[in-house]
Every structure is written in C-alpha cells, then in structure tokens.
Structure 1
Amino acid sequence: MAVSSKNDIEFEEIFELFSSRSARLLPLNYLKERHEMRKYWVEGTIVGVDTNKEFWYLSCKICTRKIEKVDRIQSCAHCQEMTYIDIYRYSVEVKFVDESGRATLVLCDQACTELICKDARDVVALQGESIKTLPISVELDIVGTKGLFEVIVTPDNNDAERFEVSGQTLDKEILDLYRDKYCFYQESSPDHPSFPEAEEQEALNAVEVEVSTDLENMTAAPGCIASEGTETTIKEPSGSNHPDASPAFKKRKMDEADQK
C-alpha cells in the first residue's frame, strides 16, 4: 500500500520521537524533583506569555548565543566571531500547565517559528527594534497551544521551575500514540503523583527495548503508516513486543479496569 506524503512527514516525526533516548513523558510536579542533567517530555497547554521579557535577541551566526552590537559591528564573546549581519532569533518565555502543576518554558527560535509561522526578523520588522514585547496578534497565536514538549532539565533550573524547550510536536494523533505507549505514571492525588522507583525503572528499561523494536517494525514495513481513505493507521507491535507485555503496563491496565 502506498504511503502518502502527509504520512511520510508523520512517519519522520514519529521516528524522531520514538528514537529519542529521552522517551520519558513525565508530569511537571515530578519533573521538578529530578536533579540529573537530562531531557524529558511534558504534555500540556501554553496559557500565557511573559510580556516582561524580551522576545528576541541578536544572535551569533556560529553558536547562536546572544551577542552585543557596538555601532554596526557584532562580536560574540564565546566564539570570537564578528559580523555586520543582523541575525534575529526568538526566545519567548511562556506559562505552561499540565494536570499536575505549572512551570515556565523557554521557547527557542525553531519552536517559536513553528508556532507563529513567521521568522523573528519579520516580527521585529513590523514594530521596530525598540519594542521588545510580542505583538498581541502573535501572542494570541501562542496562547492556548497544546502539545508535547521536550525540555532540558539541569540541577539549576528545576528548582526555578524554568525549562528550555529543545523539541515539540503538536500533532494530536502523534500525541495520543506517544502518550499511550510511553507514559508510565499514575497520579495518587490531583496535587502530586506517586512514582514507585522500582516500577518506574522497570518501565523505563522496557521502553528502550520497545523503542528499538518499534523502529525495526516501522522501517522494515513502510506500510505500517498508510492512508486508508481519510484515516491513518499505525501498525502496533505484537506478542512479547507489545507494551502490555511489561509488568508496569499490565498493572496500569488492571488499575484502569478496576476504575471502570
């Protein structure tokens, strides 16, 4: 069965997500308790933009760090690169919530460009360099966005409840698939979820095996993501490779059945 161009794009995005070793979808409350340097995924909604922070900066063309402009010359203190070309990049701080809490996410240039559908240079040109806050129309494009965001956790930023975003996906089908396969937590209360360490580690170990299996299945059989009318079907692993094969998933399914 032929795979449509739309599904080619979906496949690439699923491949990128599933091949990431940061395949842990965690709630914000638990994320704040992690102290190791690592990337995680969080799912939630952008509910506001910090309008007190500048939304753009002049960037070094080599390392993308912020640079200072003196007269017409721009010099990077990090890589010593000098240029006369103005390179504008987004850096937008947003208020983000999920079912467990809230935090500040810093959207990088690529993430903002995907959300706003305009380069930072274009937005700056609309209102001039003297205005550092996002236009209301652009802010409205961001607020209300629901998605899956890959965030960088460091020993310093989790206490501040502020995380930089290194990746994202807003596709609902991919969100549902990823959540069902790689979310291992259950909340013990609305305020704070509980995570038995042994169960979490067992589930996370199982993920690394299942991610590899999923990739083999998808790459070996391109038809696993194909168009059937207006529907998109995704082939699930079977037998011992199915997510339900792990004890953590079985417990989760049993708990869900008891609740019903």
Structure 2
Amino acid sequence: MGVSNTTYNSVLMINADLEEVKKFRQRIMAIETGTPTPVARIEKRAAYSEEDDFLNKTPYKPISEIRDLIEKTVCVTIGVVKDFSPGKSWWYKSCNICPLAMREVGDGYKCSRCNAESQNFTPRYSLNLKVADEESYASFIVYETVGSEYLQISAEDLRTKHILRGGNRIEFPEELSKFKNKTFLFKVSVKLENINSFQPVSITVMKLCHDEAIISSFKQKYSIDQDAFFPANSDVITLPADYSDINKVFSG
C-alpha cells in the first residue's frame, strides 16, 4: 500500500514479516509481562558473587572492632551463633505497607513512619542472635529478608505454624534452632545507637553466608583459627540478659 504526494512517496506495510518488527514486538511484550530486557540481564550478570562479596568486596572486622565503631559502617565478620537474646521476641508487628513496627492505637495499629492505620499487622522477623568469635561477642539482629531466606519460611507463616502447634509468643519455634551453634559469615551494617549501653552499636545483618567452602576460604585469607573459636556446645560465655537492649530500627 502506497501513500504519496507531489513530493514524497511512502510505502505502508501491514503485518509485514520484518525482523525489525519482530524485535519491536518482543520488546513491547517484555515490558508488559515483566520479562527482563537484555540490558537487565547484563546488569544481573555483572553483579559480583556471594564469594566475591565476602572475600574481596567488603572489609573484614572482628567482633571486638565492630563493637568499638562510632561511624556507620558496612563490613563482614565471622562468628558462631551461641543462642538468642533472652527476653526478646523473635518477631514484631510490622506495618502492612512499610517494614517499620506498628504501635497499638485504640482498637487498631498505626505506623510511626508512614502513618498507615490498620486493624491488623504483618509479622516479621526480629531475631536477636548472640554471636561470638575467639575474642568477643555481640548481639546481631536478623530481620525478615535475611531470616526468611535462610529459614526458607516467612515469619508470618512460621508464626501461624507455631500457633497451630500450641506455641505462644514467649516460646521460640523449633525451626529457629537452625541458627544455633552454627558458624556464619555475616555482612553487617553497624550504627552507633547509645554510647552508654552495654553494646553501643546496633548490628544489623544484611547478608548471611553458611557456605562451608566460602567460610574455609575466608578463614584461610584472614588466618582465622577455627579451633580458637568457642566450641559450639560450650557454656564458657555468659552473656548479660540485657546485652542487646538497644533501640531497634526495623528494616526487614
């Protein structure tokens, strides 16, 4: 089909089987269905691996140095999870819109960040881990993203499962024992909270690594002697009941 005037002549093709047309249709379909574009796939491949992140990209600090930090820092460390902090719940009532904790207002709940009001809430992980290495110990906080990835179950589903078994808020579900007496590499965000508290900084776990090969390479790189760690079943460490009593900034 042709379209022309006294100066120009154009050819209009309908449903033509052209390569350019096929590629254009594929791009449109990718946008509508959420399929990653070639650019997105390239960016994903360019991201460094978990091994590279823990061994090369992020600086290492032992727990003793982390506890003394006064500036906001992201680093990696290694330690054994001895237990959970006593008197701390394993989950909190989260806003349904953002990950901040909700407070009770009347018969419902209100978020202090986005001011959302609701009659219900979303349970999210807030796991206070007692983590120790060969020299020191500290409280590490694991929130929803990291917790659900490692446990392979969300806090909401685990809470429901726990209740159906007859558990209460004080008791910890048996599934959480998957953390105890295990050696991990932790990528953490450290922020000064209260200079007068037993632990002045809050230590939030951004990423957790339990890959034995990566852990072994990490120990070798930093000359860490696993035998110098407190044994997994040791009771040598007695941690204060309130040693993790710091202000929480929920960031599940």
**Is the TM-score greater than 0.5?**
yes
- Pick the structure with more helix per residue: 1
Whichever residue aligns with residue 198 of structure 2, its letter is: A
Q: Which runs of 5+ in 2 are unaligned?
A: 1-44, 229-252
Aligned to 2:198: 160
The one-letter amino acid of 2:212's match is K
**1:177 corresponding residue in structure 2:** 217
Q: CA deviation at 1:72?
A: 6.1
2:82 to 37, 47, 54: 47
> How many residue pairs end up in the alignment?
176
> In the TM superposition, what are the counterparts of 1:29-178 in structure 2 within 5 Å?
29-70=64-105, 73-128=108-163, 131-135=168-172, 137-156=174-193, 160-161=198-199, 162-178=202-218
Which structure 1 segments of 5+ residues have no match? 1-7, 191-260
Cα 1:50/1:120, change in 2 over 3 Å: same
Q: Deviation at 1:83?
A: 3.5
Aligned-partner Cα distance in 1 for 2:151–2:90: 12
What residue in structure 2 maps to residue 250 of structure 1? Answer: none
Counterpart in 2 of 1:5?
none
Q: Percent identity?
A: 19
- RMSD, aligned α-carbons: 3.2
Q: TM-score, normalised by structure 2?
A: 0.59
Deviates more, 1:11-20 or 1:110-119: 11-20
Tell me: CA distance 1:130–1:143, structure 2 relative to 1, closer, same or farther (3 Å).
closer
**What does residue range 169-248 of structure 1 map to in structure 2 within 5 Å?**
169-181=209-221, 183=222
Q: Is the 8 A contact 2:54 2:187 kept in 1?
A: no
Residues 101 and 111 in structure 2, CA contact (< 8 A), matched pair in contact too: yes
Question: Over residues 183-237 of structure 1, what are the superposed CA-to-partner deviations in whole Å (9 max), with x where a residue is unaligned?
Answer: 4x889xx8xxxxxxxxxxxxxxxxxxxxxxxxxxxxxxxxxxxxxxxxxxxxxxx
TM-score when normalising by structure 1: 0.57
| Distance in structure 2 (CA, Å) of the matches to 1:30 and 1:61 | 36
CA contact (8 A) 1:51 1:134 kept: no
Match of 1:246 in 2: none
Query: Does structure 1 conserve the Cα–Cα contact (< 8 Å) formed by 2:102 and 2:109?
Result: yes
Partners of 1:95 and 1:134 in 2: how far apart? 17
Superposition deviation, residue 64 in structure 1? 0.5
Larger radius of gyration: 2
